[in-house]
Amino acid sequence: MRYINETLVIFSHDFYCQDVFDVIGKIDFCPYMQIFYPYAIQVYNSQFPGDDPKDCPRNLEKEEARRRKCNNAEYQDPYRHYREAQEAQVKHHWLWKVQFIFENCSLLRNFEGILFLVEDDFYLAEDTLYYLKKLERQGRIHCPECKMYIMGQTTDYSQDEYQSGAAKKDYWWVGNGLGMALRKYFWKLFKYCKKSFCFFDDCNWDSTLMVVTATCIPGGLKILKPLGSRVFHLGSCEGFHRHKAWKTTDVLNKVLRTLNHNRNYLFPEHVFVASDFPVLVKRTTPYGGWTDIRDHEMCLRIFNNQSLSTADLRKIHQNLFT
């Protein structure tokens, strides 16, 4: 991507793997750093926030859980499921990395620029950062109320959408975009929503964010995003969004065809805002998996910039029995 050499790339790990470290160590086209989620279940593999051997299995009936006296027998979600460490970690890690970058990283303590969040299975067009710079200039003028830029969409795109170089106003919700670009101002607003975020019974950070920001941030989470996507999701055949009929190479080839077809419209000279905001539809139904009071307490401590020792984690665990 153009401007990648001027960009600090941060890899946030929740899994320790030498093969991954070796690949990152070969990067020579941009400055980079690595940060490490300190409460990874790979390390805490037999205690909270990992899976304690005495925790209730996900699908155990509540009466049986009580009979067994497993740790979190009283904390079943409305779908009759108990906590899963692997699912819970995704939400904790997302929160921790944003909090760490904006508040704890000495290198970035005074950073007021854009933090662009990219998942490990995203593919970015070569003009992504170029377009983001243009989009921010327009956003300051034509959408000062926009608190985030979203650089990708989740649908297929026509040639006309790229040809115009336009962006549109919208509200952020799950499925309405990929690649969040935000500033510390958003983080400061979001911190006022910490109790709502930490207590909402949904182990998905994005679903929680959608509900919380729609109700906690005045006016909702307003965004700008390009009509022609610059960020694409390649992980349709793996992970949480598995599609058995697809292969990663098939998805990549489709993305490359789209970009090649529209190559003359990348790096637009002008970006303009094409529409006003649609009607905001609020969703309030949680997906569950976040009923355990240990996750609530840990989430609040991350927000409050409280470092957690093994003793602290044990204390959080004891809250189950008080």
CB 267 within 8 A of CB 164: no
pLDDT in tens, 242-279: 455 568 888 889 899 999 999 999 999 999 998 888 87
Please list, residue by residue across 4-38, b when 16 or more beta carbons sit within 10 angstroms of its beta carbon and e when fewer do.
eeebeebbbbbeeeeeeeeeeeeeeeeeeeeeebe
Q: Where are the domains of the chain?
A: 1-113+293-322, 121-290
Confidence of residue 321 (pLDDT cuts 50, 70, 90): confident
More confident residue, 214 or 115: 115
pLDDT tens-digit series, residues 284-311: 788 999 999 999 999 999 999 988 888 8
Whole-prediction pTM value? 0.92
Query: Is it the case that residue 158 has pLDDT exceeding 80?
Result: no
For 9-20, the pLDDT digits (tens) are: 999 999 999 999
User: Half-sphere exposure of 165 toward its Cβ, with a 13 Å CA cutoff?
Assistant: 17
Please, which pLDDT band fits residue 239 given cuts at 50, 70 and 90? very low
Please report the pLDDT score of residue 246 as a whole number. Answer: 66
Q: Which of 11, 6, 49 is nearest to 29 (CA)?
A: 6
- Helix intervals (H) in 143-239: 159-164, 184-191, 194-199, 205-216
